[in-house]
Chain A
Amino acid sequence: MAQVALRKIVKTFDRTPAVQGIDLDISDREFIVLVGPSGCGKSTTLRMIAGLEEATSGEIYIGDQLVNDVPPKDRDIAMVFQNYALYPHMTVFENMSFGLRLKKFPKPEIRERVQAAARILDITDLLDRRPKQLSGGQRQRVAMGRAIVRNPKVFLFDEPLSNLDAKLRVQMRTEIKKIHQTVTTTTVYVTHDQVEAMTLADRVVIMNGGRIDQIGTPHEVYHSPQTQFVAGFIGSPTMNFLPCRLVQNGSGLTVRLSDWLSFPVPSSREARYRPRVGHELIFGLRPEHFREGRGEVPPGSAAFEARLDVVEPMGMETMVYFVVDGVEVCGRVDPVAAGNVGEPMRLIADLNQMHLIDPRTELVI
């Protein structure tokens, strides 16, 4: 078990910068997820921690040790690859024990460790099979078993669930979380799926274009995104963004979205937003904070009516879409209360959850 620290990590391939300055501290036993769109540098960062890529500049520490010069085999790490990378000519047992056999561990100890890991992953009856006889989910477990057996300082996961079908992915996600509760090794997990990030992480690191946009707990990045990118990346369906103007309205502030739609700013935010009065900003509100407008309006919320453009019944809820000045806005409503296409429907927006974004800096105010 160990902490991992990255200081000012930069990686350039030929002349293309892939990672442009990463600073990250991972505590011992923490489950950190690097998440972001493809090409954002998350896999490259992971591979630099593993030693499969060399950092162009910056320092990498595993435990207290500076490991920039240390080859992968001496870093005491284990990695689970997206394509599992199981040795096809070895049995499951041999796959899992490979690292130990290389280090000349005594046979009884090898057997003990493999059995223990197999029990955790529920693959004890697969130990004599070859990878090609296993299903995708089983192979993934074997890959994890290979990592667990090594008892390393850090686990590295490189998009391990991307090759599984949707249902299996959900299942394995839960398994990984349970395994981390048993085997509490520090884990760095890379994925492009923000749902995985939110469900698995102790802390989420959102990367974009080679830089870290925000580090925080799932709660923090969901409720307090710091950049527009983070706000739009986390949460499904994505947050609604509408251009707006912040205007003074009597004693309070109003966000003016269009001729027919304006929202009052909750008093708790007034102090924060006051310096921006008169500016053109971007208004952000998640679909789950647009609800059906029944009953009375709670404080901080506002009711309005909009003509529904598209209605998508999802079973548990219904997504309704309406247009504001050419921008399609999404709301999640109770299926019972949903209106019909083309007809106006009363909706309530919970403005306590609103965000205002400066379009020039793309930072949340």
Chain B
Amino acid sequence: MADVVVRDLRVPARRGQLSLQKFARRKSTIAFLMALPLIVIIACLVIYPAFYSIHLATLNKSMTKFVGFGNFEFLFRRSTFWMVVEQSLLFAITAVIFKAVVGFIVAHFVHNLPAQGQRKWRGMLLIPWVIPPAMSTLAWLWLFDPSYSAFNWVFAHLGISPVAWLGNPYWARFCVILVNVWVGSPFFMIMYLAALKSVPEQLHEAAAIDGANWLQKIWYINLPMMRNIIQITALFSLIVTFANFDIVKILTNGGPVDQTHVFATWAFTLAIWGNDIPLGASVSLFMAPILAIAAFFILRNVRRRGNEA
């Protein structure tokens, strides 16, 4: 056996064989092969569907013929569509603003605590983020139940009349935003806390000597130095909140009277339950431009952070 191996090595291989072996051993080839599964997954399950979705949006309901912009024209004429646009934007922007504010405030309070205690509080405050949103939305659904709402029970004892949490369109929208904020604030808190910790304590001391009180310290030092993280987190959250499905689906299923539908849930309803896949695809495509703009800004901010560091 050894003889054979030795002899093989000593015999010069044919030119073609040698270069094939060399090619296989080249760093860039190995690297490419390592990255191949990733590329395959992204190509087949992300890029292809994304483009296919555009194609689907141009078909008629039974997907037999090409109707070009027909689906889009149909949508533009439906008032429900414009409600969905307005609601999606409303939820996303309002929820992100509140999440950022709550996260900012809570992060500062936690940062104020002595170091050992921070861990416990941080642990408790992150729980809404850890629980699967579908599960926690069920809890909120139960809390908002028309007959058994625990909140209404408390209101009754305080002499306040019961609220039709999910039955009234305005309250329903409030509830969707509330649950969104509940689920997402911990994420903001954690990010902001990490950013707060990277602000050197000496800057606060210098500001104290310069005459700043706690509010001025936050405004003049913390806020500007956290600006990058604030922007990146907000943009991330905007994308995620904008495309959110679970919360609306479970809490209100788009109701009452389609007043809480967002792109994701309405596309689902149209495509799966209404059996109109092209229409559903058209609806979900409307998310693309907003997502693209947000993605652009994120990329720019991330690059800028990389250069600053």
Q: Does B48 contact A (CB under 8 A)?
A: no
When the two chains form their complex, are residues A73 and B210 in contact, meaning their CB atoms are under 8 A apart? yes
List residues of chain A with CB under 8 Å of any chain B CB.
Answer: 50-52, 71-74, 77-79, 81, 83, 85, 87-90, 98-99, 102-103, 146, 150
A87, B205: Cβ atoms closer than 8 Å: no
User: In the complex, which of the residues A81, A103, A146 contacts B202, with contact meaning CB atoms closer than 8 Å?
Assistant: A81
Say yes or no: A99-B210 contact (C-beta < 8 A), given A87-B221, A88-B225, A89-B224.
yes
* Sample of 4 more A-B contacts, CB < 8 Å, known A78-B209, A102-B210, A102-B211: A52-B209, A73-B213, A85-B206, A146-B210
Interface members, chain B 222-247 (any A CB < 8 Å): 224-225, 227
Determine whether B212 belongs to the interface, using a CB cutoff of 8 Å to chain A. yes
| A24, chain B: closest CB distance, angstroms | 20
Q: Is A73 touching B224 in the complex (CB atoms < 8 A)?
A: no
Nearest CB of A to B201, in Å = 9
**Is B66 close to A, CB under 8 A?**
no
CB-CB under 8 A for A79 and B206, given A89-B224, A89-B225, A102-B216: yes
Chain A nearest CB: distance from B8 CB in Å? 60
5 A-B residue pairs with CB within 8 Å: A73-B210, A79-B205, A85-B202, A85-B203, A98-B220
Contact of B209 among A77, A87, A89 (CB under 8 A): A77
Q: Is B200 part of the contact surface with A, judged by Cβ < 8 Å?
A: yes
CB <8 Å contact, A52 and B210 = no
Q: B207 within 8 Å of A by Cβ?
A: yes
Shortest distance from the beta carbon of B222 to any chain A beta carbon, whole Å: 11
The minimal Cβ–Cβ distance linking B203 to chain A, given in whole angstroms, is 6
Distance A90 CA – B227 CA, assembled complex (angstroms)? 13
Q: With an 8 A cutoff between CB atoms, is B208 at the interface?
A: yes
Contact (Cβ within 8 A) A73 B202: no
> Hey, which bits of chain B sit against chain A, CB under 8 A?
200, 202-203, 205-213, 216, 220-221, 224-225, 227
Contact B205 A98 (CB under 8 A): no
Known: A85-B202, A87-B203. A79 touches B209 (CB 8 A): yes
Chain B residues near A52 (CB-CB < 8 A): 205, 208-209
Give every chain A residue within 8 A of B209 (Cβ-Cβ): 50-52, 72-73, 77-79, 99
Docked pose: A88 CA to B220 CA in angstroms: 11
Task: Find out whether the CB atom of A103 lies under 8 angstroms from the CB atom of B211.
Answer: yes
CA distance A85 to B225 in the complex (A): 13
Instruction: Enumerate chain A residues within 8 angstroms of B200, measured Cβ to Cβ.
Output: 83, 85
Which residues of chain A are near B206, meaning CB under 8 Å? 79, 81, 85, 87, 146
Contact, CB under 8 Å: B221 / A83: no
Measured CB to CB, the nearest residue on chain B to A88 is B225
Give chain A residues whose Cβ lies under 8 Å from the Cβ of B210.
Answer: 73, 78, 98-99, 102, 146, 150
The 5 closest A-B pairs by CB, nearest first: A99-B210, A85-B206, A73-B211, A85-B202, A89-B224
What separation, in Å, do the CA atoms of A72 and B210 have in the docked complex? 8
Assembled-state Cα–Cα distance A150/B202 (Å): 18
Q: What's the minimum C-beta distance from B227 to chain A, rounded to whole angstroms?
A: 8
Chain B residues whose CB sits within 8 angstroms of the CB of A78 once the complex forms:
209-210
- Which partner residue on chain A sits nearest B201 by CB separation? A85
- Which residues of chain A come closer than 8 Å to B221, judged between CB atoms? 87
Whether the pair A99, B211 counts as a contact (CB closer than 8 A) is yes
Tell me which residues across on chain A come within 8 A of B207, comparing CB atoms. Answer: 87, 98
Docked-complex contact A71 and B208, CB < 8 angstroms: yes
What is the bound-complex CA distance between A81 and B208, given in angstroms? 13
Nearest-neighbor residue (CB-CB) of B224 within chain A: A89
CB distance from A99 to the nearest CB of B (A): 4
A7 to chain B, nearest CB (A): 23
Contacting pair A85 B211 (CB below 8 A)? no
CB distance from A239 to the nearest CB of B (A): 36
Q: How far is the CB of B305 from chain A (nearest CB, A)?
A: 14
Complex alpha-carbon distance, A77 and B225, angstroms: 25
Contact across chains for A73 and B225 when beta carbons are under 8 A apart: no
Shortest beta-carbon distance from A349 to chain B in Å: 48
